[in-house]
Structure 1
Amino acid sequence: MARRVLEKNTFSTGELAPELWGRSDLTAYANGAARLRNVFIEPSGGVRRRPGIRLVDELDGPVRLITFEFNTEQTYLLAFGDKRAVVFEDGVATRWFETPFGVEHHDLLNWTQSADTLLVVHPDASPVRLTRTMAGDWQMTLWAWRATNYDTAQPYYKFIDPAVTLSPSGTSGSVTITANADVFVDGHVGTLWRIAGIEGEITHVAGPRVATIALKDTLPSTDATIDFSEQAFSAVRGWPRSVTFHQDRMVIGGSRDLPNRLWMSKSGDLFNFDLGEGLDDEAIEFALLADQVNAITGVFAGRHLQVFTSGSEWMVTGDPLTPANIQITRQTRIGSQSKRTVPLVNIDGATIFAGRSGREIREFLFTDVEQAYGSADLALLSRHLVTDPVDQAFDADRRLLHVVMGDGSLGTLTLYRSEAITAWSAQSVADCQFQSVSVSGGDVYVCLRRGDRYYLGVFDEDCGFDLQTDQEIDANEPPRRHWGNLDALDGLTVSAWAEGTLSDGLLVAGGTVTLPGNVGPVSSVQIGVPFTHEIYALPPAGRDGSRPHGGNAVRLVSLTLRLQQSGQLRVDTGRGLRDVALPVSDDAAGTETEKETLYSGDITLRSLGWRRGSGGTINSGLWRIAGENPRPFLLLGAASEMGVND
């Protein structure tokens, strides 16, 4: 006996992992999809064809993208490449400067900003301080610790066995120091040491146990002493791993040789790490000691100082933080990736971090009820889209978290906690891999790799293609079919949108593309790499509260799609993809040309043909949408009327 079932979908739970396709009992199933590619999920639950990517520039090689906010109106994008960084302002490269960071340093690059100063660190390279002056100049310098003639207020540490002693040959000036164990290496030349509280610089290393030091003050005696230490950060011992600012202190989290140690500067004196006498405003230093490895991977200034390690997450409390009242408490045992720095992102009070497994995106969120932090997994329903995250950035205007994956894909999470929306989709660019992402001035910039070529692009609502270039000739020039200045796209197969006509399969050769004869000479053209948006329905599931349809024969009776401001629709209801002509909407917005092509309203399609079983493939759903026309498309919801033969 046949019966009819109505399914409704708003896609507010995003693309569900295939292992959940049999879980029609889940609430998320009713508003999920089997495939959501090259679309963004609206906070309201609709699905929009993503903007194309406008080509900003071709890059010399791989880069790490960093946003620099000088003030509310001036935001810059910094592209850190191989020993150099390029400054982009409004998508235009304005200047460049040398840096100590090469391509080999990109994975563990870490940074933080305070006012007009950006601090950039890496455990194997000297930390730098980048400042943008009021005059518009950029200055990059190495960190300079607070110093006097007798003392440098930087962290110190004794890296060898506590019982090892040093014996100085004199009490002042240049003296020889002899250790009773191997201590010195050639790289120690130029580093600062403290012996019995007196600072000096190593000027010569004669061997593993003998060195010469130039003392800055007088030692109390020449007796052998265990009271000595060397600067915590150096080419020998490594440099800071992570950095942030919290309660008017600079916080350094870990280094290459001290991975679980935390340093906090003197309050109001960011480069002063002198522990002094432990007064309230003086520097703080301690190690994270626990029953598992806790190499610090990131520090974040949120509601509390948050410390992320390779094995767990910690909360540092104290109001204010002082050497006497500081407390550190382990909160969760998730752990973060140690081989790659994925920037920590704050979204509505939650700190988003990539879990150690490489398959999780977690939110570290404080709950008032428990007075503790929890780490909910935001990728629980879409685990298949998260693969070794390498970079992430949050577009606050559109509520979109973009996560670059190790396989070159881009996962996009629509996160709107107040409306209980956590929905994933995935983005791709033909023959390209995403390398880095950053949000600057409200725009989402990405670094793309294609073979051995690298591109900087930005998502642009006015673009229908990827790596798009717009060209237009002056009014006094004759229309043309041949368009040049496309060296960045040389060798690519592109499409062109020329005065309302779409041309596909055009090859860029010698930086030039020729429009087909049926298009004719034109005065303006948009050229880029086409992409296809895809929306696939999940396998049909019963809505009578009992079970999925299982092996019953089902058929799609009708499909009603609610569109808004859409200029295209290509849908498959069982007989293959076909274009659906959209009527003119009475409330269409935009120019007269756009009003003729954009539609808002319902489209109902009818279908014939029975299917048995829901299957487990990507095409198990009763309908799918896929289109590459560079026109807007926004699907607010879908209603499927099915026939079920019991």
Structure 2
Amino acid sequence: MSRAITIQSNFTTGELDPLLKGRIDINQYYNGLEQARNVLIQPQGGAERRPGLQFITDVTSAGSAFRLIPFEFSTTQSYMLLFANNKMFVFKDKVLQTAINGGSDNFLTTTIGTANLATMDFTQSADTLIVVQEDMAPKKIVRGASHTAWTISDLTFEYTPFHPFTLGTTTINQTLTPSATDGKITLTAGGSVFTSDHVNQYIEANDGIGRARVTRLVSGTVVEAIVEIPFFNTSALASGSSFIETGYEVQWSGTKGYPRTCTFHEGRLYFGGAKSRPNTLYASRVARFFDFNPGEGLDDDAIEITLSTDSTNAITGMFSGRDLQIFTKGGEFFLPQSSLDPITPSNIVVNGATRRGSKEGIKPVGAESGTLFVQRAGKSLREFLFSDVELSYISNNISLLSSHLLKSPKDMSLRKATSTTDGDLLMLVNETDGSLATYSILRGQNVIAPSLSTTDGTFENVGVDVDQIYFVVKRTVNSATKYYVECFNDDNTTDSATLLSGGSKPSSTSVTGLSHLEGKTVKVIADDGMQSDKTVSSGGITLDSVPTSYVEIGLDYTPIVKTMPTELKLASGNIVGQKKRITEATALVYLSQNLTLNGNDFAFTNAEFFTGKKRRKPMLGYDREGQMTFSQSQPLFFTLLGIEYKVSVGQK
């Protein structure tokens, strides 16, 4: 028998995939956890109880499908927009805005239906949000003079690109005379041959020396055009020696479909793919976002280019970063810019980078060092970043050690580092079980720490308004299905919570306004201490006593921090297969009020926020794992910074 003292000084690997339980040969094992549930891993290494969910409003009447999209009007005014079936709700600072446009509704009526929500994409410039989806006309949403002034309309394009979906030719049995060989010209026929149907079609000489796009019908004998291939001279082409190429149709319409994705990049509005041409990239004219006229191919004219590869790479997302990054179902691409020159029709090139493919409906997000996207199959979270060694982009799998936490993710959002948190927080909503995978990320310190959160119900959607994290949560309340908008709140330790303080603090033991938790058993925290559990009846409860400063009422959730099986790396060898017993454990905690170890409470003074060491001994019982499970018996604050423990190793 031997004894040893060891320490786990941080949890920066987060929860490890069960397939790694035997990987005692990697350093991540010793900073990892078998379970990290309802906790967030701090970039500094500790594990803390995740924030509770503050109840905002009930949106059940709006349907069962939703989409959260942030809108940042200025540095001081930002909003979270909640889209439902033909409705858009506006939230500012966790408050639902009512009387939209001075009316009686607390929503803006849209024509964005349920079927469009899951694969909707968006981008914003100044006060205008553009929303696209391949089965609906692109929308423009504009905030007016106040928080409640909003308008929505279909985008009106100055010019929409054309494509030859059904190509055909008609011989011009008349002479044809160009007014010039290049640029903007007029074409004059010897007899009436032109009609309005020929606008945006092409006229070409039989020998290929001369091709022009018709821009305007002047008369049956004269059209204006822009030359694509210069004519040999201005002499008349003989009758029958030229033809009209027809079949060019508007690419975005109710019959051909509409753009799939969008972003702004270097003064242009880009559309990535359309329903009829899913692997084509479109760029507007510079500073004229709704004009996609290719013109004469000048530097500021519109651009159209198709990703020509050995597979149909339907574009699923774009991100404007160092370069314009293009994510498709089959791989990842980018538009290189040598010497930082602007992208023009003459120099545009699409370079392939990696062949992972991204999942449709999950918008890539820009993090500290790269762009994060979910691989097409939904089982990997990848970081797309530029490699100075390869002079191209690479796609790193940053969820390799925790891929079990990704269960068909359907929504993703990133909260960037804030004034109180050093790292980024990435959140993914899992469709399979409604759980929430969270990744604390600080790439400068190689911290990628995953955990998993659950609630009494399921997470449906997530969105971030600067530093406020919104969710749509599906709950069963009083035998009915409900959809609530809730937000992470660092002051809450319960879910669907109501916090009453200051002027809203109850002056008696009677508390009302809890109809959203009707029939639920709730936790009651008053003045940093626990009162007895209550069941909400008729929208209210009766407190044990009147609170002095505040009371929080909400649903409980259980945090779990379970260590990996103990491995000491003794000089005599490994102890994986040996019986072992943790005889004593010391938990280093920070501003904590409650903590249990293997189901037994550490002693805390009521309402105390303790920082220091909490010791537990003796601890009895040998097993072959040697694990510790930290949790809580009360929904109060805790932060576990590290663990020192003594291990006794027995015989095999």
Does TM, normalized by the shorter one, top 0.5?
A: yes
Identity over aligned residues, as a percent? 32
Q: Which residue of 2 aligns with 1:233?
A: 252
Secondary structure of the structure 2 residue equivalent to 1:337: coil
Secondary structure of the structure 2 residue equivalent to 1:611: coil
Q: Which residue of 2 aligns with 1:260?
A: 279
Give how far 1:493 is off. Answer: 2.5
Letter in 2 for 1:247: E
Secondary structure of the structure 1 residue equivalent to 2:363: coil
| In 1, Cα distance between equivalents of 2:200 and 2:523 | 64
Asked if 1:117 corresponds to 2:120, the answer is no
Asked if 1:400 corresponds to 2:425, the answer is yes
Task: Choose which of 608, 612, 636 in structure 2 pairs with 1:597.
Answer: 608
Give the alignment of 1:358-369 within 5 angstroms.
358-369=378-389
Give how far 1:275 is off. Answer: 0.8
Asked if 1:23 corresponds to 2:27, the answer is no
Q: Which residue of 2 aligns with 1:357?
A: 377
Give the alignment of 1:404-419 within 5 angstroms.
404-407=429-432, 408-419=434-445
Q: Which residue of 2 aligns with 1:138?
A: 150
Q: Which residue of 2 aligns with 1:492?
A: 520
Letter in 2 for 1:448: V
Secondary structure of the structure 2 residue equivalent to 1:285: strand
Asked if 1:434 corresponds to 2:459, the answer is yes
Q: Which residue of 2 aligns with 1:510?
A: 538
Residue 125 to residue 167, structure 1, CA distance change in 2 (3 Å): farther
Q: Which residue of 1 aligns with 2:183?
A: none
Secondary structure of the structure 1 residue equivalent to 2:469: strand
Task: Choose which of 342, 352, 355 in structure 2 pairs with 1:330.
Answer: 352
Q: Which residue of 1 aligns with 2:554?
A: 528
Letter in 1 for 2:446: A
Secondary structure of the structure 1 residue equivalent to 2:362: coil
Contact 1:533 1:628 (C-alpha < 8 Å) held by counterparts: no
Q: Which residue of 2 aligns with 1:4?
A: 4
Contact 2:53 2:488 (C-alpha < 8 Å) held by counterparts: yes
Q: Which residue of 1 aligns with 2:600?
A: 578
CA shift digits 1:578-614 (9 cap, x unpaired): 111136xxxxxxxxx9xx5111111121234342423
| In 2, Cα distance between equivalents of 1:305 and 1:545 | 53
Letter in 2 for 1:53: L
Contact 1:279 1:323 (C-alpha < 8 Å) held by counterparts: yes
Residue 640 to residue 67, structure 1, CA distance change in 2 (3 Å): same
CA shift digits 1:105-164 (9 cap, x unpaired): 111010011111111001111111112234553222211112xxxxxx21111223x347
Residue 434 to residue 604, structure 1, CA distance change in 2 (3 Å): same
Give the alignment of 1:140-219 within 5 angstroms.
140-146=152-158, 153-160=159-166, 162-163=167-168, 194=201, 197-198=213-214, 218=220
CA shift digits 1:90-116 (9 cap, x unpaired): 122223212221122111010011111
Q: Which residue of 2 aligns with 1:446?
A: 471
Letter in 2 for 1:253: G
Residue 394 to residue 218, structure 1, CA distance change in 2 (3 Å): farther
| In 2, Cα distance between equivalents of 1:251 and 1:378 | 28
Letter in 1 for 2:466: G
| In 2, Cα distance between equivalents of 1:333 and 1:546 | 46
| In 2, Cα distance between equivalents of 1:475 and 1:378 | 45
Q: Which residue of 1 aligns with 2:322?
A: 303
Contact 2:53 2:497 (C-alpha < 8 Å) held by counterparts: yes
Contact 2:139 2:155 (C-alpha < 8 Å) held by counterparts: yes
Task: Choose which of 393, 398, 406 in structure 2 pairs with 1:378.
Answer: 398
Contact 2:472 2:484 (C-alpha < 8 Å) held by counterparts: yes
| In 1, Cα distance between equivalents of 2:172 and 2:646 | 88
CA shift digits 1:497-519 (9 cap, x unpaired): 2345534553223322234xxx2
Task: Choose which of 629, 641, 650 in structure 2 pairs with 1:645.
Answer: 650
Letter in 2 for 1:436: N
Flag structure 2 segments of 5+ consecutive residues without an equivalent: 101-106, 174-190, 204-212, 224-239
Secondary structure of the structure 1 residue equivalent to 2:400: coil
Larger CA deviation: 604-613 vs 358-367: 604-613
Contact 1:306 1:314 (C-alpha < 8 Å) held by counterparts: yes
Give how far 1:85 is off. Answer: 0.3
| In 1, Cα distance between equivalents of 2:636 and 2:172 | 78
Flag structure 1 segments of 5+ consecutive residues without an equivalent: 147-152, 178-191, 201-214, 584-592, 615-620
| In 2, Cα distance between equivalents of 1:476 and 1:45 | 36
Give how far 1:167 is off. Answer: 11
CA shift digits 1:504-548 (9 cap, x unpaired): 553223322234xxx245575321111111100111123237864
Asked if 1:44 corresponds to 2:47, the answer is no
Letter in 2 for 1:109: M
| In 1, Cα distance between equivalents of 2:44 and 2:505 | 47
Larger CA deviation: 597-606 vs 300-309: 597-606
Secondary structure of the structure 1 residue equivalent to 2:582: strand
Residue 613 to residue 322, structure 1, CA distance change in 2 (3 Å): same
**What's the TM-score, normalizing by structure 1?**
0.85
Letter in 1 for 2:387: T
Q: Which residue of 1 aligns with 2:484?
A: 455
Contact 1:530 1:628 (C-alpha < 8 Å) held by counterparts: no
CA shift digits 1:243-271 (9 cap, x unpaired): 00111111100011110000011112111
Contact 2:201 2:244 (C-alpha < 8 Å) held by counterparts: no
Residue 218 to residue 495, structure 1, CA distance change in 2 (3 Å): farther
Q: Which residue of 2 aligns with 1:188?
A: none
Secondary structure of the structure 2 residue equivalent to 1:108: coil
| In 1, Cα distance between equivalents of 2:317 and 2:484 | 28
Contact 1:198 1:219 (C-alpha < 8 Å) held by counterparts: no
Larger CA deviation: 329-338 vs 498-507: 498-507
| In 1, Cα distance between equivalents of 2:270 and 2:88 | 25
Larger CA deviation: 326-335 vs 501-510: 501-510
Contact 1:36 1:535 (C-alpha < 8 Å) held by counterparts: yes
Residue 8 to residue 522, structure 1, CA distance change in 2 (3 Å): closer
| In 1, Cα distance between equivalents of 2:192 and 2:452 | 68
Give how far 1:557 is off. Answer: 1.9
Secondary structure of the structure 1 residue equivalent to 2:401: coil
| In 2, Cα distance between equivalents of 1:529 and 1:218 | 76
Letter in 1 for 2:141: L
Give how far 1:404 is off. Answer: 1.2
Larger CA deviation: 505-514 vs 255-264: 505-514
Q: Which residue of 1 aligns with 2:267?
A: 248
Letter in 2 for 1:494: V
Contact 1:294 1:311 (C-alpha < 8 Å) held by counterparts: yes
Residue 165 to residue 457, structure 1, CA distance change in 2 (3 Å): farther
**What's the TM-score, normalizing by structure 2?**
0.84
Larger CA deviation: 226-235 vs 245-254: 226-235
Paired residue total = 582
Residue 478 to residue 15, structure 1, CA distance change in 2 (3 Å): closer
Give how far 1:220 is off. Answer: 5.5
Task: Choose which of 621, 624, 628 in structure 1 pairs with 2:629.
Answer: 624
- CA-atom RMSD, angstroms? 2.7
